[in-house]
Each structure stands twice: as structure tokens, then as C-alpha cells.
Amino acid sequence: MHRVELRKPDGREMTLYARHPLPAGIQAPSPFPDPLTGGAHLRWHPLRGEWVTYAAHRQDRTFLPPPEYNPLAPTVDAANPTEVPDAPWDVAVFENRFPSLGGSVPPPPDLIVPTAPASGRCEVVVFTQDRQASLGALPLDHVALLLEVWGDRTVRLGADPSIRYVLPFENRGAEVGVTLHHPHGQVYAYPVVPPVPQRMQQVALEHHARHGRGLLETHIEAERRDGARMLYEGPHAVAFVPVCARYPYEVWIAPSRPVPGFAQLRDGERIDLARALKTVLLKYDGLWRRPFPYLMAWYQAPTDGQAHPESHLHAQLWPPYRTRDRLKYLAGTELAAGFFAMDALPEDKARELQQVEARLP
Amino acid sequence: MHRVELRKPDGREMTLYARHPLPAGIQAPSPFPDPLTGGAHLRWHPLRGEWVTYAAHRQDRTFLPPPEYNPLAPTVDAANPTEVPDAPWDVAVFENRFPSLGGSVPPPPDLIVPTAPASGRCEVVVFTQDRQASLGALPLDHVALLLEVWGDRTVRLGADPSIRYVLPFENRGAEVGVTLHHPHGQVYAYPVVPPVPQRMQQVALEHHARHGRGLLETHIEAERRDGARMLYEGPHAVAFVPVCARYPYEVWIAPSRPVPGFAQLRDGERIDLARALKTVLLKYDGLWRRPFPYLMAWYQAPTDGQAHPESHLHAQLWPPYRTRDRLKYLAGTELAAGFFAMDALPEDKARELQQVEARLP
């Protein structure tokens, strides 16, 4: 992996990653002439016992730009800069111009609940220069590079003691609110372990303390023995529709070994994990022969400098469709109770995905 | 409040409620000739430590029926029965034909995670006979009757020792996935305290143990003193945009006194709570002079037979719009991390709603 660190004229950091060495002298562009202003703050939600971030400056952010302007395509005309330079990078990472966390963080207001500076970081990760591509369509070594990039971001962001958790994710498709269709994802670096990873961490810790083994490691073994819902079984990685799927086409992807995060993957594990990911995404797009929307989140150990033998890197993919033409809406029971109701059996949905061919070189 | 208990020809229970006495001899209709079959089961989600319910029979359920058929309108032609009879009821409650919980519950399958029967109950609550009405447009004593009905359902369902939590909610609008536009809501009776109320209960208990006072009671006093986000202040009830709103137009509605559930409301409190609710819903519909979609959930104490001095009945309303023409999508950070990011300040959204007139008799 090759990397170059740059700074945009508006002060934001940018890092370019490539499989081959990058030339010297690359300039990082920005469509925004002015330095970053505004900034977010946190407020404590007393009833749920969690933080919420408020970034009112985000209301001005880019929204469904006309098709002729793509801020994630390389800058070809210096008079009309985009977010990324015209250089032979494979993956580009830069600070979000309208971050929910980090950036220029003002002192928080004095309110009737505790408040705090919204420290942290929101990064945009451009997966490829090709706006027509998709993550699943990229070559295997390009996907593996992305996993290495996520590891590099996690290590670098997590080295800041104010960062407690790093979450790489991709929202794909207009159905999940995506406004820029150039293949990209995001990395959020949180100043706390957020509620969902916090809960999962607590459950995993209790299991590990009681059984001396990882919860997901044990679950993966059970899924493999059962076999009914497996989508990929490689030498080092697996993908399957979990027996407890909360979304009809939910898939989990993980290394077989309980690795706490991307940075701890061995080369062979990373390649096989990339192969598992690419297989799932090709199956998704092949299912109805159209781009398949999803939310994909990669859970890792908190970045608190501690060993986390209970943590096991994995992705959860949550597609919004129930069937080809029906969306699953999260409503009363899912959002207000946190109790998910499924109309489909994971075994049936796994069978649909198993039957989609995904030919990898 | 007057009530009549009936049974539909397919075996489902139905209860009619009215402000005036109901005549004898009402027959409960059903559009379904056959008795209820199928049924759901629970699977344990090991990583999140929560139950998920699987009701594969729900895939056959009514979906966007043609406008000429409304299953929630009174049956006028015995050859084409709906779900409710032609009788002078104000609010009708019946078991969902395609329940996620309860109904005909088969033994759960044997799987690689713990499973359990999906006991519980899913009820449909028809708010009025008038399909053109909306909850906010109903007369005040009709809204108050509905609050009394929710209390009656909570007591009756909660009396079953297998029921641990009763959640009345309304999903309103196609934007939140509603397919039947006749004014109605649902009541879910859960065999466990679901994750969100469980978490809120834990936080409230800790606060009550430490301070000897209710968390929401204290918060309401602080919101009233601050005043910036209040929408309604009556003798016994309040409504406000909370300082920690997670949705731009989020509103909380509560009795000022920490009442654990609907059934413990005094008459004057119930009327004032109805007035607070009606005020908020009129402001919502008045804001953009069109029906305003939302998810409304009413949190109460668990139905475990214990006293719950830490519990404080209240509604949380979560509208899906950020602005008049932009939806707030829940994506990466909200769903995968549980960390909400807001583009708007609650103070600004409260001001918008404060300026909408809501004239009540």
C-alpha cells in the first residue's frame, strides 16, 4: 500500500492510497474556497442515556447536485475543482466539509442537559476514480486495498486519545438516502463508544468472560456446521445470512479468526475477506440484476489502547428491500421498541442469494 | 367509557369502545373466512443480545388495497365484510390478522440460537369510523377516550403474566410505510421488555435511586423553566420539542405528574393530556398545511405487577421530515452506531411549531 498525505486549501486533510507508488507534487483540491467554519456540539439525551450531535451548519450542504457536477471525480479543470485530484490514486480519503463530528469545534452551548464539544472526525472514502463502478465490481486487490485503508484510518484516527471508536460504513442507494452516486463510503471516529457497539461490546465481553471464547467465533462455527445460510466459505473468511437476521437480506462477513480490527488482519486473511465481500456484493447486484441498496457497517474493537480478545471484526449489511418491489420500513416496533419483526425466514432469503452466481477470478 | 367484547368468526377478539352506551347484539365481522393459521417464533440475536420475531405468514398480508376497499370502515354489505361492524362505536380494537406476536403460536424451531414461542399480542386500534378524519382532528373527548382505551388495553393485556410490556403506537403516512390510511394505530404486547424501553427503564431506575425523583419529571421542570421549546403547558400536561431531539420535529408529550401508565391518569389529567396531544397534531398538520407523517410511541411502565415510581408515561413523536421536502434517512451513524446526527437545532424547529396556530375549543 502506498499513501500520500495532503492538505486542501480550505485546511482539510486528505490522504491518497494506491497499489502502486504515487508521484510527488500532487495538490489536493477543494470546491470550497473558504476555510471550514461552524461546527457541531453534543447534547446528552437523559432518557436514552446517550449523546446526540447537532451540526446546524450541515443544512447548507451539497444536496443532489446536477449530474454534470460530481465532487468525487478527479479535478480536470482547475477553475472548477472537485474534492479529489487528477492523479493515479486508487482510494482517496478526506475530511467531510460538513462534519457531524470534528472539524472546527466551537465550545458547546450551556443548556438544561449536559453538552460537550463534538470532537471526532467524519471522513469521506472514495472507493475508486470510476463513477460507473461499484464496490463489488472493483478488482479483488482493489477491494483488499480498501480493507487496508480502513485499517490505516482506524489506527491513525484511533491514536488520538479523544477518539474511542472508529466505524467504517457505506450507505448505498437512493433508498437509504444517498445523494452522491460515485462509489464512496464514510468513516466516523467517535469521541465515545456509541450505543450499538457499546451494547455489542458488553454482550461479547460477558460471553468471553463466561466461556473463554469469542461470541462471533462460536457463532460462525455454528453457522458453518448448520450450512443452510452460508454464502461464502474461504480459507480465512466467511459470509452468511445470520440465523437471527433483522433485515430480509441481511448478511454478515467476517474473518474466521477473531481479529479485533482491520489493522490486525494478515495478508492472506485480508485477501480472503475481500473475496467474501466481493462475492456478497456481486450476489446482491445479481439478485434482481440491478444495483442493490444496502447499509454496510464494519464493527471493530474500541480504540482505547486495550487488548480486546472479545472483539471480532465483522460487517453487517442491511438492505432496505423486503422483496423486489417492497421496502422494509422501520416503524413502531423496530424504532420505538427496538424489537425487530421479520416477514421472511433467513433460510429462504439465504437460498435466494445462494442461487445467484458470483464468479470471481 | 362503554365497552363491548366480541369475537370474530375467525376466532379473533374484538372490543368496541364508545362515549355512549352501545346497543346489544352487535356482530363482529371479518374479511377472512378461515381461522387464523401460521404464527411467529422468536430467535435470539447473540451479538445484540435481543429477540427478533419471525412471522413468515405476514408476507401474504393486505398491501395497499385499492381505494374502494377499506378494511377499517364499518361493514355495510354482509357479503363483503370489513374488520369492523356498522354500530355506534368510537374506537374499535381487534387482533391483527397477521400478527408478529401472538395469535396461533406454533412451537419454535430448533436452531443454532435459542428460540421461543412468539407469545404476546398485536392489536389494531381504529381511532374513528371516519376515514377522512385524523387523530388530531377528532373532538377532544374522543381523543381522551382513546387515551382511556390505551389504558384499558394496557391493563387487560398486562394482566397476562406472559406479557411484560405494552406499547401503543401510531405510524402515520406513506413516508413511514403506512399502507392503510384510515386513522388507526397499533398496540404491541411483548413477552419481554424490548431493548429501547429496557434501556430507558434502566437509566430511569438509576436516576430515581440516586436522586429520589423521576428523570422525566425533573426534565419537564427544566424544559418549563427554560421555555424555549414549549408547545403546550396546561394544568396537568405539557408538550415540547426536547432539547435533545433526535429528529428535527421531535416532540414529547407527558402528564406533569409522574404517572406510570395510562390507567393511572386521573380524569382531569387525561383530558389535559388529550389537549396537549391534539395541540401538537394540529400544529404538525398546520405547519405545511398538509398531513404531517410521524411515528408516535407511548412509553409506560412494564406490566410486571411491580410499582414503578421511576416510570413516567409519555409520548415521543418522530416525524421523518427534515424540511418541507427533505426526509431524514436513518443510515450509517444512526442505525449502525445508534449515534444520531441532527442538521437542525431543536430551538429553531420548536420556534417553527410555536408559530403555528392550533385553536382548541
- pLDDT digits 0-9 by tens, A113-154: 999 999 999 999 999 999 999 999 999 999 999 999 999 999
Considering only CA atoms, which of B352, B262, B250, B242 is closest in space to residue B311?
B262
* Integer CA distances (angstroms), A189 to A17, A250, B3, in order: 19, 24, 55
CATH of the domain at A15: 3.30.428.10
Is the pLDDT at A274 greater than 50, yes or no?
yes
Taken in order A66, A72, A75, A76, the sign of the CA dihedral is negative
* Residue B250 resides in a domain: yes
Taken in order B114, B116, B118, B120, the sign of the CA dihedral is negative
CB contact under 8 A, B336 and A196: yes
B-chain residues near A198 (CB < 8 A): 338
Residue B298 and residue B249 in one domain:
yes
Residue B230 and residue B170 in one domain:
no
Per residue in B261-287, pLDDT (tens digit) is: 999 999 999 999 999 999 999 999 999
To the nearest whole angstrom, how far is the Cα of B344 from the nearest Cα of chain A?
A: 5
Q: What is the mean pLDDT of residues A208-212?
A: 97
Q: Are A223 and A238 in contact (CB under 8 A)?
A: yes
A-chain residues near B229 (CB < 8 A): none
Considering only CA atoms, which of B330, B347, B203, B220 is closest in space to residue A54?
B347
Q: Among B121, B165, B244, pick the best mutation site for testing chain A contact (most A Cβ within 10 A).
A: B244
Compute the C-alpha angle B34/B37/B41, nearest 5°: 160
Residue A155 and residue A260 in one domain:
no
* Residue B256 resides in a domain: yes
A54: left (phi over 0), alpha (psi -120 to 50) or beta: beta
Considering only CA atoms, which of A295, A258, A286 is closest in space to residue A355?
A286
Q: What is the mean pLDDT of residues B213-222?
A: 98
Per residue in A58-92, pLDDT (tens digit) is: 555 554 556 678 999 999 988 889 999 999 999 99
Q: Look at residue B228 in the predicted model and tell me its pLDDT.
A: 98
* Residue B309 resides in a domain: yes
* Residue A234 resides in a domain: yes
CB contact under 8 A, B246 and A333: no
Q: What is the mean pLDDT of residues B332-339?
A: 96
Q: Look at residue A35 in the predicted model and tell me its pLDDT.
A: 78
Is the pLDDT at A38 greater than 80, yes or no?
no
To the nearest whole angstrom, how far is the Cα of B197 from the nearest Cα of chain A?
A: 6
CA A32 to chain centre: 25
Considering only CA atoms, which of A56, A50, A57, A54 is closest in space to residue A41?
A54
* Residue A300 resides in a domain: yes
Strand pairing report for A115-117 and A41-45:
antiparallel
Out of B58, B188, B246, the one facing A333 most closely (by C-beta) is B188
Q: What is the DSSP letter of A47?
A: T
Residue A201 and residue A155 in one domain:
no
Is the pLDDT at A319 greater than 80, yes or no?
yes
Q: Look at residue A361 in the predicted model and tell me its pLDDT.
A: 72
Q: How far apart are CA A35 and CA A232, in angstroms?
A: 46
Residue A347 and residue A225 in one domain:
yes
* Residue B340 resides in a domain: yes
B-chain residues near A215 (CB < 8 A): 46-47
Residue B152 and residue B102 in one domain:
yes
Out of A55, A167, A243, the one facing B341 most closely (by C-beta) is A55
Q: Look at residue B361 in the predicted model and tell me its pLDDT.
A: 72
Residue A210 and residue A184 in one domain:
no
Per residue in B15-41, pLDDT (tens digit) is: 999 999 999 999 999 998 887 766 899
Out of A52, A207, A333, the one facing B244 most closely (by C-beta) is A52
Q: Which residue of B has its CA nearest to A205?
A: B47
Catalytic positions of B, please? Answer: 184
Is the pLDDT at B61 greater than 70, yes or no?
no
Q: How far apart are CA B316 and CA A17, in angstroms?
A: 45
CB contact under 8 A, A338 and B171: no
Partners of residue A184 on adjacent β-strands: A126
Q: How far apart are CA A187 and CA A179, in angstroms?
A: 17
Q: Which residue of A has its CA nearest to B59?
A: A343
Exposure string for B192-208, b = 16+ CB within 10 A, e = fewer: bbbbbbbbbbebbeebb
Per residue in B189-208, pLDDT (tens digit) is: 999 999 999 999 999 999 99
- pLDDT exceeding 70 applies to what percent of chain A? 96
Q: Which of B193, B220, B253 is the last residue of a domain?
A: B193
Q: What is the mean pLDDT of residues A299-318?
A: 96
Confidence of residue B44 (pLDDT cuts 50, 70, 90): very high
Confidence of residue A351 (pLDDT cuts 50, 70, 90): very high
Residue B151 and residue B206 in one domain:
no
Q: Look at residue A313 in the predicted model and tell me its pLDDT.
A: 98
* Integer CA distances (angstroms), A267 to A1, A141, A238, B125, in order: 12, 11, 16, 57
Supply the range of the domain harboring residue B328. Answer: 196-354
Total Cβ atoms within 10 A of residue B287: 18
Average pLDDT, chain B: 94
Q: Look at residue B67 in the predicted model and tell me its pLDDT.
A: 63
Is the pLDDT at A22 greater than 60, yes or no?
yes
Q: Look at residue A39 in the predicted model and tell me its pLDDT.
A: 84
First to last CA, chain A: 22
Q: Which of B160, B193, B226 is the last residue of a domain?
A: B193
Average pLDDT, chain A: 94
Give the count of alpha carbons within 13 A of B143, CB side only: 23
First to last CA, chain B: 22
Q: Look at residue B63 in the predicted model and tell me its pLDDT.
A: 45
Q: Look at residue B104 in the predicted model and tell me its pLDDT.
A: 81
CB contact under 8 A, B190 and A337: yes
Q: Look at residue A290 in the predicted model and tell me its pLDDT.
A: 96
Helix (H) or strand (E) holding B271: helix B267-287
- Phi, psi at A348, each rounded to 5°: -70, -40
Out of B101, B216, B339, the one facing A47 most closely (by C-beta) is B216
Residue B181 and residue B250 in one domain:
no
Q: Among A42, A45, A47, A48, pick the best mutation site for testing chain B contact (most B Cβ within 10 A).
A: A47
CB contact under 8 A, B348 and A216: no
Q: How far apart are CA B21 and CA B2, in angstroms?
A: 6
Q: What is the mean pLDDT of residues B300-326?
A: 96
Is the pLDDT at A195 greater than 70, yes or no?
yes
CB contact under 8 A, B332 and A297: yes
Q: Look at residue A36 in the predicted model and tell me its pLDDT.
A: 75
DSSP string covering A195-253:
HHHHHHHHHHHHHHHHHSS-HHHHHHHHHHHH-TTEEEE-SSEEEE--TT-SSTT-EEE
Q: Look at residue A63 in the predicted model and tell me its pLDDT.
A: 45
DSSP string covering B99-154:
-SSSSS-PPPPP-SS-EEE--SEEEEEE--S-TT--GGGS-HHHHHHHHHHHHHHH
Q: How far apart are CA B302 and CA B143, in angstroms?
A: 24
Q: How far apart are CA B76 and CA B231, in angstroms?
A: 41
Q: Which residue of B has its CA nearest to A195?
A: B338
Q: Look at residue B27 in the predicted model and tell me its pLDDT.
A: 96
* Integer CA distances (angstroms), B156 to A7, B4, B5, B148, in order: 64, 14, 12, 12
B-chain residues near A333 (CB < 8 A): 100, 167, 169, 188, 194
* Residue B360 resides in a domain: no
Residue B206 and residue B171 in one domain:
no
Strand pairing report for B230-233 and B237-240:
antiparallel
Q: How far apart are CA B26 and CA A332, in angstroms?
A: 31
How many structural domains comprise chain A? Answer: 2
CB contact under 8 A, A47 and B177: no
Q: Look at residue B65 in the predicted model and tell me its pLDDT.
A: 56
ipTM given for this complex? 0.95
Helix (H) or strand (E) holding A143: helix A140-158
Q: What is the mean pLDDT of residues A323-345?
A: 94
Residue B281 and residue B350 in one domain:
yes
User: Going by C-beta distance under 8 Å and a sequence separation of 6 or more, which residues neighbour residue A87?
Assistant: A16, A22, A23, A26, A74
DSSP string covering B144-185:
HHHHHHHHHHHHHHHTSTT--EEEEEEEESGGGT----SSEE
Out of B111, B207, B323, the one facing A243 most closely (by C-beta) is B111
Q: Look at residue B35 in the predicted model and tell me its pLDDT.
A: 78
Q: Are A259 and A313 in contact (CB under 8 A)?
A: yes
B-chain residues near A47 (CB < 8 A): 200, 203-204, 215-216, 219
Q: How many residues does chain A have?
A: 361
Q: Chain A to chain B, count of Cβ pairs less than 8 Å apart?
A: 246
Q: Which three cell numbers stand for residue B273?
A: 393530556
Q: Are B197 and B203 in contact (CB under 8 A)?
A: no
Catalytic (active site) residue A2:
no
Q: Look at residue B253 in the predicted model and tell me its pLDDT.
A: 98
Q: Which residue of A has its CA nearest to B114?
A: A244
Q: What is the mean pLDDT of residues A329-349?
A: 95
Q: What is the mean pLDDT of residues B324-328?
A: 93
- pLDDT exceeding 90 applies to what percent of chain A? 88
Out of B216, B225, B295, the one facing A336 most closely (by C-beta) is B295
Is the pLDDT at A28 greater than 90, yes or no?
yes
Q: Which of B193, B212, B232 is the last residue of a domain?
A: B193
* Residue A320 resides in a domain: yes
Total Cβ atoms within 10 A of residue A10: 17
CA dihedral angle for residue B266, residue B268, residue B274, residue B278, rounded to 10 degrees = -170
Residue A201 and residue A248 in one domain:
yes
Task: Write the burial class of residue A232 (CB in 10 Å: 0-12 exposed, 13-18 middle, 19+ buried).
Answer: buried
CB contact under 8 A, B112 and A226: yes
Q: What is the mean pLDDT of residues B248-271?
A: 98
Per residue in B127-180, pLDDT (tens digit) is: 999 999 999 999 999 999 999 999 999 999 999 999 999 999 999 999 999 988
Is the pLDDT at A210 greater than 90, yes or no?
yes
Helix (H) or strand (E) holding B234: none
Q: Which three cell numbers stand for residue A176?
A: 437509504
Q: How far apart are CA A329 and CA A322, in angstroms?
A: 9
CB contact under 8 A, A339 and B195: yes
Q: Which three cell numbers stand for residue B218?
A: 425533573
The radius of gyration computed from the CA coordinates of chain A, to the nearest angstrom, equals: 20
Q: Which residue of B has its CA nearest to A186?
A: B332
Q: Which three cell numbers stand for residue A189?
A: 471516529
Q: Are B24 and B50 in contact (CB under 8 A)?
A: no
